Amino acid sequence: MSPVGKVLVFGEDTRSFLATVRSLGRRGVVVHAAPANLRAPALASRYVTAVHALPPWMEDGTAWLEAVEALLRAERFDLVIPCNETALLPLQRHRARLSTLTRLAIPDDNAIDVLFDKYATRELAQRLGIPVAEGRLPEPGESAETVLAALGAPVVIKPRRSYVLGHLDRRGKVQFARDAAEFARLQPELCAEDHVLERFFPGQGLGVSLLASRGRVLQAFEHHRVREDGSGSYYRVSAPLTPALLAACTELVAALSYTGVGMFEFRRDPRTGAWVLLEVNARPWGSMPLPLGLGVDFPWLWYRLLTAGEESPAVDYRTGVFGRNLLPDLQAVLAEGRGRGKGRLSRLACWLLELGRLASGREIHDVLVRDDPRPALAELGAALGEAARRGAMRLPGWAVLARQHARARLRAALNRHANGQVVFVCLGNICRSPFAAATLQAQPAMRPGRVSSAGTMLQPGRPTPPPGLQAAAAHGIDLATHRSTWLSRAIAEAATVLVVFDETTRRAVLDRYPDLHGRVIKLGDLLDGVDIADPADGDAKVFATTYATITTATTALGGLLGK
């Protein structure tokens, strides 16, 4: 098949990103990917032609913008599609500049201002007469009792925006205050700029997905959640379009003169039939594999609309067909049944029986598909590898094996670069890694400048918190002038060894720099194989304990480096 176009897709998840890649790739579009996680299973798709490791948006975004501009000039894409807000918001910031190089598949600024702000979405819906849960902005100084009296328990505390441009590595999370004491605990963090309070509306989650052109709905699809948790649904079923829900979507789209794709989330009370609009995802969404599997090809229709001005006629779809994200759904079922004994086995048996729908054509899997099996195999391999690691940690003698492995990895790294750098890496580079670097550098055998530190969070320039300064001073270490540094490619490549403190940081380093796998060791593996947890939210006692452990471990590391 000769290429019909070329796109750059930002993302790496196995739902919206992978569905977009498969949709366009099957149509002959050449697809390049710009992921944050270079080890993501979705990148194994046969439809991904090239993968580009772009720097993340950080500080003023200059490095990101320069890299994106260079890529767009070199590759001449017909369209750029962000599958997440961490890419969409930077693209929006530089829309005028980047639009001279390619088309951007993002809503206009007004639609982003309204649909990416849950309170603004509520206000528009209310003006149009569309039901929303009772809610309001938090007010300074109000009592928890007043809030619960007005909204009932639990109170739903939503971030107004899932992401903001200055903190793209931090996703806002929905929280629930089940009583006055819990609300009072959360209240100091709440403000009208960042949060909205709502009455909890019970019921089943519903979604209406659509493609619109200049305020007119071209294609719509409805699904109902079968199993859901706070982060979404891993099992859902296609359903006929509900006239009232479609009408609500149509009104919102018309009011914004919206062009693009989106998924409108609702919740309906099965007892009364009442429903409310929850929020709008004005970008590719997680449940997209289900309509795609049923012939409602949103990414392709969107591509044709934006690149050729083609408004394709709506297509019908089968209802009663289930969509499943296999591994996360299994994990959710097992987690739900955990601690229930026989109930857990019963839930697992029901789950296995549900899989029979696949044979009858009544089930579609998000990741495992016949024409592109490699992402599913990669996902399974990663899950099995993690299970094996966790199982091995329970074995007698694990600490000895971990210590031997860490020392062997360290020796191998030193053999490659005997005079190189030791870089300690933690999450924020404000607590563990700067203290460890200063402690190791202070050892008599270490040459000046051989040791440094960095973090995986995209927030450079932060100081060590006061409890950390005090705990470090007790060891004769002054961290008063330390400011956090992000682990860039240049820093990581210059390191002989990258010393991390926990499994979370190890994965974060390898997700961004998988080619440096051989340089990464965990500091705790030099002692007892246990992670050294982040003390950032702890008190002076937690810092003192953590820093004592780090001191012991860096002493052992210094002895090995001096051999």
Mean pLDDT of 522-546: 92
For residues 15 and 287, what is the distance between their CA atoms, to the nearest angstrom? 7
For residues 383 and 379, what is the distance between their CA atoms, to the nearest angstrom? 6
Mean pLDDT of 493-510: 95
**Does 551 map to a domain?**
yes
Mean pLDDT of 246-251: 98
Among 91-105, 266-280, 396-410, the least confident range: 396-410
Do 308 and 435 belong to one domain? no
pLDDT tens digit string along 374-384? 999 999 999 99
Check whether 493 has a pLDDT greater than 80: yes
Higher-confidence position of 317 and 388: 317
Check whether 339 has a pLDDT greater than 70: no
Check whether 89 has a pLDDT greater than 70: yes
Do 410 and 537 belong to one domain? yes
Domain count, the chain: 4
Q: 136, 113 in Cβ contact below 8 A? A: no
Distances (CA, A) of 548 to 225, 248, 544: 49, 59, 6
Do 95 and 227 belong to one domain? no
Mean pLDDT of 501-505: 95
The span from the first CA to the last CA of the chain, in angstroms, equals 59
pLDDT-derived band at 416 (thresholds 50, 70, 90) equals confident
pLDDT tens digit string along 464-479? 999 999 999 999 999 9
Check whether 391 has a pLDDT greater than 60: yes
pLDDT-derived band at 341 (thresholds 50, 70, 90) equals low
**Does 536 map to a domain?**
yes
Kindly report the average pLDDT of the chain as a whole number: 92
Last residue of a domain, one of 170, 199, 228: 199
Check whether 135 has a pLDDT greater than 70: yes
**Does 218 map to a domain?**
yes
Do 39 and 151 belong to one domain? no
**Does 422 map to a domain?**
yes
pLDDT of residue 346: 75
The identity of residue 74, as a single letter, is A
Last residue of a domain, one of 152, 168, 199: 199
Among 223-232, 448-457, 459-468, 473-482, the least confident range: 223-232
Mean pLDDT of 470-489: 96
Check whether 70 has a pLDDT greater than 60: yes
**Does 270 map to a domain?**
yes
Give every strand in the sheet of 175-177, ordered side by side. 135-136, 195-199, 155-159, 175-177
Q: What is the CATH number of the domain that holds 517?
A: 3.40.50.2300
Q: What is the CATH number of the domain that holds 172?
A: 3.30.1490
pLDDT of residue 504: 94
**Does 168 map to a domain?**
yes
Do 552 and 418 belong to one domain? yes
Do 429 and 313 belong to one domain? no
Do 450 and 524 belong to one domain? yes
For residues 249 and 241, what is the distance between their CA atoms, to the nearest angstrom? 11
Do 329 and 213 belong to one domain? yes
Q: 558, 445 in Cβ contact below 8 A? A: yes
Higher-confidence position of 141 and 11: 11
Q: Which of 117, 161, 283, 426 is catalytic?
A: 426
Alpha helices in 417-484 (DSSP H): 432-441, 466-473
Check whether 154 has a pLDDT greater than 70: yes
For residues 424 and 501, what is the distance between their CA atoms, to the nearest angstrom? 8
In angstroms and rounded to an integer, the radius of gyration of the C-alpha atoms of the chain is 26
Cα angle: 186, vertex 181, 152; to 5 degrees: 90
| β-sheet bridge partners, residue 31 | 7, 48
Q: Is 426 a catalytic residue?
A: yes
pLDDT of residue 547: 97
Element of type H or E holding 103: strand 103-104
Q: Which of 117, 297, 502, 534 is catalytic?
A: 534
ω before 291 within 30° of 0 (cis)?
Answer: no
In this structure, the number of other CB atoms found within 10 A of the CB of residue 423 comes to: 24
Do 217 and 341 belong to one domain? yes
| β-sheet bridge partners, residue 252 | none
φ/ψ bin of 106: left (φ > 0), alpha (ψ from -120 to 50), beta (otherwise): beta
Check whether 562 has a pLDDT greater than 80: no
Last residue of a domain, one of 341, 365, 389: 365
pLDDT tens digit string along 13-47? 999 999 999 999 999 999 999 999 999 999 999 99
pLDDT of residue 344: 67
Q: What is the CATH number of the domain that holds 31?
A: 3.40.50.720
Mean pLDDT of 47-57: 97
Check whether 290 has a pLDDT greater than 70: yes
Give every strand in the sheet of 5-10, ordered side by side. 48-51, 29-34, 5-10, 79-82, 103-104
pLDDT of residue 38: 97
Do 405 and 349 belong to one domain? no
pLDDT-derived band at 553 (thresholds 50, 70, 90) equals very high
Q: Which of 432, 506, 512, 519 is catalytic?
A: 432
pLDDT of residue 340: 53
Q: What is the CATH number of the domain that holds 297?
A: 3.30.470.20
Do 146 and 219 belong to one domain? no
Q: 297, 233 in Cβ contact below 8 A? A: no
Check whether 338 has a pLDDT greater than 70: no
pLDDT tens digit string along 161-219? 999 998 898 898 999 999 999 999 999 989 999 999 999 999 999 999 999 999 999 99
For residues 355 and 352, what is the distance between their CA atoms, to the nearest angstrom? 5
Mean pLDDT of 54-63: 92
For residues 464 and 545, what is the distance between their CA atoms, to the nearest angstrom? 17
pLDDT of residue 487: 97
Mean pLDDT of 437-449: 85
Do 351 and 439 belong to one domain? no
pLDDT of residue 330: 83
φ/ψ bin of 32: left (φ > 0), alpha (ψ from -120 to 50), beta (otherwise): beta
For residues 306 and 131, what is the distance between their CA atoms, to the nearest angstrom? 32
**Does 377 map to a domain?**
no
Structural domain range at position 22: 5-106
**Does 114 map to a domain?**
no
Higher-confidence position of 204 and 344: 204
